[in-house]
Structure 1
Amino acid sequence: MATRFVIVGAGAIGCHVGGRLAAAGEQVVFVARRRIADALEGHGLVVSDLDGFRAALEPRCFVAVDTVAEAAAGGQPSFVLLCTKGGATVTAAGEIGAAFAQGTPILSLQNGIDNGDRIRSAAPGCQALAGMVPFNVVLTTGSDGRLTAHRATSGQLYAEDHVACRSVEAAFARAGLPLKLAADMAAVQWGKLLLNLNNPVNALAGLPLREELLDAGYRRVLAALQDEALDVMRKAGIRPAKVGAAPPRLIPTILRLPTWAFSRIAASMLKIDSSARSSMWDDIHAGRTTEIDDLCGAIVRLATAHGLTAPKNAAMADLVKHPGGSRRYSGPDLLQRLHQP
């Protein structure tokens, strides 16, 4: 029997991953906010990427609903991809656990470290599986009302090396999203978190990602956050995995290079669509709760658990929560705020 994929939290990442699976002929059910579900039902979905892939999916290619209970109706065995923000994990996992059969796999395609524990607590009868999404997706609405989920950066999906993930490995490969199965997903997630520390920098810079990364001032801010995070991880006995082109310990050094050298050495990091921004920028400007507690906040919690402090990450978390209206911060201004006592 073909696998039925249920995408819970069909925002940018969920629409892109689910759309690629649907384009490959897989059964896909999107669980989304009513506005997005209506757009999917009424106009379909375009999935594309910076490498030239593009598929326009008609509404008949998938199912779109706005509740988990609707997605579970009929009792068909499913593989759930949880794509909500971290703050919504407990609620979403509780709904999945209540609606789906015991043993249903839930693969977390979310930022942060703590979502696996949240899923296990809220849905103890399901199989909580760790995953990692390395790329940025931009979700836009065209003049015709059709959504486009465009992958704007590169990278390979990771998933826990588990029998449930191995069972869908071929489906992801057919969809052009091959899974890299890893035995130590905690190390992968800590490695990804280091890269995600750029999300708040980008959000407060108010610039597209590529433009921000080409600014030495903003790179110094990111390097400071990463240096502090790496020090806390080392003292906590955590060795983050290499999930990008460079080992974690070298990334702050590369970020501090002059822009001419950085742009050559970090060419793969700069392979970004010119319009791409972090989702945190979208959240701040839409007045939504951000994921800062799952990023800088995770470093602060790890430090506290080991009798340490992480003042720079704490300062960044506070600044995201209280950004001072729509003000854009320069790199030197941000760096000064991170170093304030």
Structure 2
Amino acid sequence: MRYIIIGAGAVGGAVGGRLAESGHDVVIVARGAHHDALRERGLRLVTPDGARTHRLPTVDGPSALGELRPDDVLVLAVKTQDSVAALEEWGPAPVAGGGTAAERLPLLCAQNGVESQRLALRRFHRVYGVCVWLPATFVEPGVVSAAGTPLTGILHLGRFPHGTDDTARAVAADLSASRFEAPVVPDVTRWQYAKLLANLANATEAVSGVVDSEEARALRGRVRAEGEAVLAAAGIAYASQEEQKEARADKMRLVPLDDGPVRGGGSSWQSLSRGTGTIEADYLNGEIALLGRLHGVPTPLNDLLRRLANEFARERRAAGSMPVAELVRLADEAVAQALPISGASTP
């Protein structure tokens, strides 16, 4: 199989680099300065076992490849806000022997949240969800770091909306040979919703930085509790924290890296640091807000974080520049002003 990594940022770069290291055929897809750096200097992947440069075929879209191969596996690793554009571009791409990528090729959504695979299933016949536990950093064109050891990441995967098949097992075998653990599960969304709850803190980290104070921990707990109440009202199952802890065990420890970019924060923090102008909060905190409105549960904290994260991105404000005390004050105000959802009962 050949892996086409659509979006060679933190997750895509780490997955693509590790697959290439274990001898797999990999093409990476990027845009702008990152694309230029990858073409000129290669992908510099920094991990606890050292830094190395991978000279991989690099393209900016399907037209640069011509016909796709029947054994291609598409790995969608762009941020969710960029998914529609990527799906519209790659779906109609012709495959050797006839048909299109959307009709014939498997598509793995290796992204935060749960929305991209729903978007993909509107276009692609074979969609796979991936629950991504992969601490990686991309803030400099051409350079990706991944600080996990002995595993680089844990990637639960399965067919979307449910089930498993031989393709999932073949991909998992390749990932398992590439410094990942890749459990094939029939209920991948249960793991993704658990990860979504953890990712609700991304916006607090993005706007206020990585703060481990008592008030920051308390705010993150309140935001998560709001998310848990929404999932309960929606009847959505998710893996428990105990189950997640058992799955991770001591398989993936974060260690300081001697070289490469410093991990100042997660994916949303990195978006602000790169000044991309967009952020994934609509599909993390916004997913909770959406479900809350559908099921009659007020979500003032997640609404606030979604709005603030988008304002920071749109205005190119510095990551971590809002004091935690100010964020807590705004959160308290939002809760105090929250009104019951019209026409719906509240718990």
TM range (shorter): 0.7 to 0.9
- Spell out, residue by residue over 1:247-304, the C-alpha distance to the aligned partner (whole angstroms, 9 max, x if none): 7xxxxxxxxxxxxxxxxxx999994646331221232340421000011000000111
Task: Identify if the C-alpha distance between structure 1 residues 223 and 16 changes in structure 2 by more than 3 Å, giving closer, same or farther.
Answer: same
What runs of 5+ residues in structure 1 fail to find an aligned partner?
Answer: 248-265
What is aligned with 2:145?
Answer: 150
What is aligned with 1:328?
Answer: 321
Measured on the aligned residues, the alpha-carbon RMSD in Å equals: 2.6
Structure 1 residue 47, shift from structure 2 partner = 2.1
Would the aligned equivalents of 1:220 and 1:335 in 2 still touch at CA under 8 Å?
Answer: no
Task: Identify if the C-alpha distance between structure 1 residues 267 and 315 changes in structure 2 by more than 3 Å, giving closer, same or farther.
Answer: farther
Is 1:106 matched with 2:107?
yes
Structure 1 residue 75, shift from structure 2 partner = 3.6
Would the aligned equivalents of 2:6 and 2:29 in 1 still touch at CA under 8 Å?
Answer: yes
What is aligned with 1:172?
Answer: 175
Task: Identify if the C-alpha distance between structure 1 residues 270 and 55 changes in structure 2 by more than 3 Å, giving closer, same or farther.
Answer: closer
The one of 251, 266, 271 aligned to 1:278: 266
Structure 1 residue 243, shift from structure 2 partner = 6.4
Report the residue type matching 2:266 in the other structure.
Answer: S
- Spell out, residue by residue over 1:202-231, the C-alpha distance to the aligned partner (whole angstroms, 9 max, x if none): 111134xxxx2x322211111110011001
Task: Identify if the C-alpha distance between structure 1 residues 272 and 86 changes in structure 2 by more than 3 Å, giving closer, same or farther.
Answer: farther
Distance 1:109 1:179 in 2: 12
Task: Identify if the C-alpha distance between structure 1 residues 173 and 267 changes in structure 2 by more than 3 Å, giving closer, same or farther.
Answer: closer
Using the size of structure 2 for normalisation, the TM-score is 0.80
Is 1:184 matched with 2:199?
no
Would the aligned equivalents of 2:17 and 2:54 in 1 still touch at CA under 8 Å?
Answer: no
Report the residue type matching 2:286 in the other structure.
Answer: G
Is 1:68 matched with 2:62?
yes
Q: Which shows bigger deviation, 94-103 or 272-281?
A: 272-281
Structure 1 residue 155, shift from structure 2 partner = 4.3
Secondary structure of the corresponding residue to residue 7 of structure 1: strand
What runs of 5+ residues in structure 2 fail to find an aligned partner?
Answer: 159-163, 257-261, 338-347
What is aligned with 1:315?
Answer: 304
Distance 1:276 1:41 in 2: 26
Secondary structure of the corresponding residue to residue 278 of structure 2: coil
**Aligned runs of 1:81-100 on 2, under 5 Å?**
81-99=75-93, 100=95
Q: How many residues align?
A: 307
- Spell out, residue by residue over 1:159-189, the C-alpha distance to the aligned partner (whole angstroms, 9 max, x if none): 1133211122221111111211121111111
The percent identity for this pair of structures is 26
Distance 2:175 2:241 in 1: 19
Would the aligned equivalents of 1:23 and 1:57 in 2 still touch at CA under 8 Å?
Answer: no
Would the aligned equivalents of 2:70 and 2:105 in 1 still touch at CA under 8 Å?
Answer: no
Structure 1 residue 81, shift from structure 2 partner = 0.5
**Aligned runs of 1:283-322 on 2, under 5 Å?**
283-285=271-273, 286-322=275-311
Distance 1:83 1:187 in 2: 20
Report the residue type matching 2:209 in the other structure.
Answer: G
The one of 3, 6, 9 aligned to 1:5: 3
Secondary structure of the corresponding residue to residue 156 of structure 1: strand
Distance 1:115 1:245 in 2: 25
- Spell out, residue by residue over 1:95-148, the C-alpha distance to the aligned partner (whole angstroms, 9 max, x if none): 221004322000000111111110011x23x4111012112211254xxx8x33
Distance 1:243 1:80 in 2: 30
Secondary structure of the corresponding residue to residue 168 of structure 2: helix
Structure 1 residue 339, shift from structure 2 partner = 2.1
What is aligned with 2:138?
Answer: 139
What is aligned with 1:338?
Answer: 331
The one of 57, 69, 78 aligned to 2:53: 57
